[in-house]
Chain A
Amino acid sequence: DAGVTQSPTHLIKTRGQQVTLRCSPKSGHDTVSWYQQALGQGPQFIFQYYEEEERQRGNFPDRFSGHQFPNYSSELNVNALLLGDSALYLCASSSGSGYTFGSGTRLTVV
């Protein structure tokens, strides 16, 4: 049973560029949440998608946007990258009975 799959695992981008991160949820899960984990910190909630709509959003600027597809997979897009966007981005899927996290995408902005 495949868990949560995230791609790519590592990414280096230049300040001002745009990036797209991808997440495939665990089989049977219909909700996808995204978290940003800065170095040495706990994950911070970005937003959550359910039935292809954003259901909840954390305290992140509009540069952070997302999408959920009919097969429940999801994308996180970040525009106009800043150096401070460098972090581990974690995707988690759920179905009301518990969360499963992926191994994350390490984004470095230079």
Chain B
Amino acid sequence: AQTVTQSQPEMSVQEAETVTLSCTYDTSESNYYLFWYKQPPSRQMILVIRQEAYKQQNATENRFSVNFQKAAKSFSLKISDSQLGDTAMYFCAFMKRIAGNEKLTFGTGTRLTIIP
């Protein structure tokens, strides 16, 4: 079974600063996806960024980037130039890369607050 661990229950940072959220996972699979999702007060899970385990290059999406360390089973999210709209719960998630399997395993989340 896969497990995802987020060790930072809460974080806060000043607007325009950079913040890094941590995530570690445990799996015996070699082929998988990793995700960061954002959940604002509206409750909808919004995909922030996706990483495919077979790709060595770290994924980036505008101000969001990841540091994927496959051997260490670590997958951190860096948010640059943080904005007030980034305030939300952030969840790290894992999915096996197997046809017909689309089950996500989530961590417990990190509550991020951006301070004006």
Residues of A within 8 A of B (CB): 31, 33, 35, 40-45, 48, 50, 55-56, 58, 88, 90, 92, 94, 96, 98-99, 101-104, 106
Contacts and interface: CB of A to CB of B under 8 A. Distances in A.
Main DSSP-derived SS at the B contact region: loop
B103 A102 contact: no
Contacts, number: 56
Nearest to B93: A42
Interface of B: 4, 37, 42-47, 50, 91, 93, 99-109
A41 B101 contact: no
21 contacts: A33-B102, A35-B104, A41-B108, A42-B91, A42-B106, A43-B104, A45-B105, A50-B100, A56-B101, A56-B103, A58-B103, A88-B43, A92-B45, A96-B99, A96-B102, A99-B45, A99-B47, A99-B104, A102-B44, A104-B43, A106-B43
